[in-house]
Structure 1
Amino acid sequence: MAQAGLSHMNPEAINGFMDFMRNEKENPPKTADLFKVPADLPQGWQIFFDKVAAHYARQCAGNRHALISLEKRSWLLEDEKLTEFEMFMSAVGMKEKVTFREGDAARALLFYTSAISTFPTPDVMNNAAACALRENKFQLAEDFASEALDMELFTNLKNKAKAYFRRSQARMHLGNFEEALQDINIAADIHPDVSISSTRNEIETLIETVKTPSQRKTYLAGQKSPPKKLPFMEALQGIQDLGVQCVRVPDFVDFTQVQPPPF
């Protein structure tokens, strides 16, 4: 059946598609061409957008899936004639609509992930890390917390401490106790807190008691598993209920007259 279908296709169309795919593989697009920093920015916004661009460059380095996702994002901007400022405002709108309640971690994680794919900011990544921890998705929590810290956009010390704290928790559950201890010590230095001290004591106890590969294997086997995946239709309905739309910014609005938001 497949061969019969191909036989009726235009040979030029097939060759054109194959050439396109070959070129995509041999000459993948550059992140700088897919995420374009707006021109003529004041210093505050220039630093902000440069760090977002650096985030995409790190994310896409050797990661074909991430590069394809960024390319699709660039198509959206082109097709809908959106600016990066509008993508940023759209992501802010998504974040503000999320209500993170007990038992809603899966839906909240879905919404935060959508906001990050629209425009990445460390505060949303921090929230996503918290949701991932609630869902026992420890590797995902570590990744989100690491990305939030790597953006180097935190100005609020409490929020920065939360990112280190959440990454420490994730690494502890993954059995990476030494790295977890490093993170929790940094969190304690930045913003001392009772929960931070409690987690540090827990990590130090694990370092003393879980020493052999066999003990580590037993420890990892005892960690909680992630819940069942959110059904597709439920996830789709959740996004529809959220009412996510791209924000249109009128031409008379001048972002350059204000500073980027603190994180």
Structure 2
Amino acid sequence: MKKYFIISLLGLTSIISGQSINKKYKALWAASLFKYQFKKDMTFSFIASGHIGNIKEVGKYELKRDTLLLTFDGISKPLKFVYDFQGKLIEIVTGYEYDEYTEEEGITKSAIKRVPVKIIVYDCNTKKRDTFLYYGIKPEGETNIKEQLYYFLNSFKILRKLEPKKIIKLSETSIGKLDATDSYDKNERLIEVFYRGSRISGIQPQGYVFHYKLESNQIVSITDNGPNVNSSFIFTNDKSNNLESITEKTKNNTLIYILSYE
């Protein structure tokens, strides 16, 4: 079943080919724990334990933009990961997300499973402009809409200086309380996020205004209220309460991005 979206394509990848990693990653799935340790010399070690058994391997890795290729010793075909905007690894074959960790941290939850989303870009004249893949969240759960917005807005950097994580955790302040940079309504829904100025700095606030469907948490649009900007993003949902479309409208153009989960 196909789903439709509309978003902006700005800065999808930030990983440069040849860059090294000095981090550790882990994931818990299939009743097994998987750990990778990456070193600056472009080598890695792999340890698995649990239901799958005890496995130890080593090899070399390579970064090609947002793709991480792992070549295990004695195996010619590399294992592929996506290195996403949060620095997380998504294993392409299984779709599981790997988190960075330290030795002191324990494993508390099972890995998030991502799904490949095919995106076809159209302009306002319905002319096809581009096609690419994005690895989003599995489309289910009560917070699905907010999580989808979080991943899409972050990955494609649609909005300047917006921290989409606030869309999921709307407020850590008391109901109706305003701070210097953000504002919430009586239902603790995020209403404004400023990227310039504040209510107490003396500089006129400029930012993004969130619009909701009646008293629900369903975001129907986001508008940039900065001077001479005149841009907005309009969202619709399907019958299963998943995001179905995002229309980006600027002063001179409208972009339509059609997505389908594979």
With the shorter chain as reference, the TM-score category is under 0.3
* TM-score, length of structure 1 as denominator length: 0.27
Q: Which has the higher helix share?
A: 1
Whichever structure has more strand as a proportion of its residues is 2
Larger Rg, first or second structure (1 or 2): 1
